[in-house]
Amino acid sequence: MKSLLRKLFIDNWQRKLLAFTLALITWIFVNNSLVFTKTLTDVPVKIANLPEGKTIKGIKTDNFLGNTIILILTGNKKTIEKITSKDLYVLIDVKDSDDGFTTIITKDNLVALNPNLKIKKAIKAVKPVEISIELTTLITEKIPVFLEDPNGEAPNGYDFLNIWPYQLYITISGPEEIVKKLKTKGIDLTLDLNSITEEELNTITSETKNGKKNIVSYYIPTSWKKVYIPEISSSLIEIDDPLAKLIRIDFIKQVFLPFDFPIPISLFFPINTSETLNPSTISVEEKEYIKKINGIDVLDMPLFVDGINEQYLNIIKDRIQIQILVENNNKLKWTVELVDSYSLENTYVNANFNNQYNLPTGNYRSEAEIKLKKHLLQFRFRRLFKKFKLCTSKDNQLDLDITLKDGKISVVPKK
């Protein structure tokens, strides 16, 4: 065994070492001489030296184009095999261009993103690629941003009321065609109620003036005040409107308020059936909860209201009525209606406008902002009435069984 090992490694070792060294050198030389071709997809293209007042459709704020290209690279096999489209980009200089041009992409246009990639040594050639660049006018405009009703569900114990302001503006610079289209169409921003927790709303100090104790305003974080405009930028763009700092979502805390007011009952008679159904032939039957006060039929029973606050209730309580549609049916339909809603709406707006602003004497907002604020309060007034519910208990909404028989309308609250 020893003689065999001696024969293999010791005898004539100089010649064996030389042979091994020559073989290693030959292997290294051959391996590094192998030429390999690879196709890269999604190679980014960056533009340099855009002329002032010019831009390119689809270019992003970092000067990369929205579209990528395909490159076919040839070079050292060992290095080329490892290269990906994330290791490099194509750089095109448009310094001396006015409207547009066509250029050929070669090895000279490649720039390494990977610091370990030495393009001149690793890449022998790039199959020429023709690319057309069209320059267009760069313009800057204020684009409307519309805050839509949010997605998701309000936290437990709260109902979504409104967003304010519901319209803002964002300053955008980009290709004339795209920017003008955005200005006409506007941008929608939809927030997510699921991102707001019950604990957050519980810790907010509610407004205490004028009985608005159960309205909670959640001022959204800065990270939400951004929009995605893929035609302009690959990243979110922050809204630069000064009003953006005031963006808030208003919630109304779910509370039950006692409603201790008789509710007038009104009968509506369609003209087409008025020969047989009219006030002279039809009347409301008095029962346990149905009474007459000064000749007015009223529903007089212990009730609660849900969906509104105390201030709102105090404004509308004397203008609520139950209206019954009188038809040739045994079961009659009914609704809760608001009488003189326009005047009540103005009362609500006037009562809340200055308190919402908290302005010192002589400090006035712009006309546009004042108009927006009035619109918000008008919208809130209408929305609150849509949420308004008459209830007999915390779990039961008022339900009336209304029937017509022998000229008498029977109104019975369901248990």
Are residues 193 and 275 both part of a single domain? Answer: no
The number of angstroms, rounded, from the C-alpha of 307 to the middle of its chain's C-alpha atoms is: 25
**What was the pLDDT predicted at 1?**
55
Indicate the pLDDT class of residue 352, thresholds 50, 70 and 90.
confident
Q: Report the greatest alpha carbon distance in the chain.
A: 134
Are residues 249 and 273 both part of a single domain? Answer: no
**What was the pLDDT predicted at 210?**
43
Are residues 274 and 397 both part of a single domain? Answer: yes
- Please say whether the beta carbons of 211 and 311 come within 8 A: yes
Domain span at residue 117 reads 34-127
Are residues 275 and 343 both part of a single domain? Answer: yes
Are residues 233 and 273 both part of a single domain? Answer: no
Q: Is residue 73 part of a domain?
A: yes
- Please say whether the beta carbons of 235 and 245 come within 8 A: no
Return the closest-CA partner of residue 169 out of 186, 149, 151: 186
State the amino acid at position 183 in one-letter form: K
Tally of CB atoms within 10 A around 142: 13
**What was the pLDDT predicted at 23?**
56
Are residues 109 and 193 both part of a single domain? Answer: no
Are residues 223 and 264 both part of a single domain? Answer: no
pTM over 0.85: no
Tally of CB atoms within 10 A around 287: 12
* Mean pLDDT comparison of 107-111, 210-214, 292-296, highest-scoring range: 292-296
Are residues 408 and 278 both part of a single domain? Answer: yes
Cα 102 to Cα 208: distance, rounded to the nearest angstrom: 67
**What was the pLDDT predicted at 394?**
83
For 158-194, what is each residue's pLDDT tens digit? Answer: 889 888 888 899 999 988 889 999 999 999 999 999 9
Per-residue pLDDT at 375 exceeds 70: yes
Are residues 52 and 65 both part of a single domain? Answer: yes
Are residues 292 and 384 both part of a single domain? Answer: yes
> Mean pLDDT, to the nearest integer, of 263-291?
94
For 35-64, what is each residue's pLDDT tens digit? Answer: 678 888 889 999 898 888 888 887 887 888
Are residues 50 and 24 both part of a single domain? Answer: no
Domain boundary (97, 127, 157) is at: 127
Q: Is residue 276 part of a domain?
A: yes
**What was the pLDDT predicted at 130?**
87
Q: Domain containing 100 — which CATH number? A: 2.170.120
Are residues 82 and 7 both part of a single domain? Answer: no
In DSSP notation, 359-389 reads: PPTT----HHHHHHHHHHHHHHHHHHHHH-E
Domain boundary (253, 268, 295) is at: 253
Q: Is residue 132 part of a domain?
A: no
Beta strand extents in 197-276 (DSSP E only): 215-219, 226-227, 237-238, 248-253, 257-259, 263-268
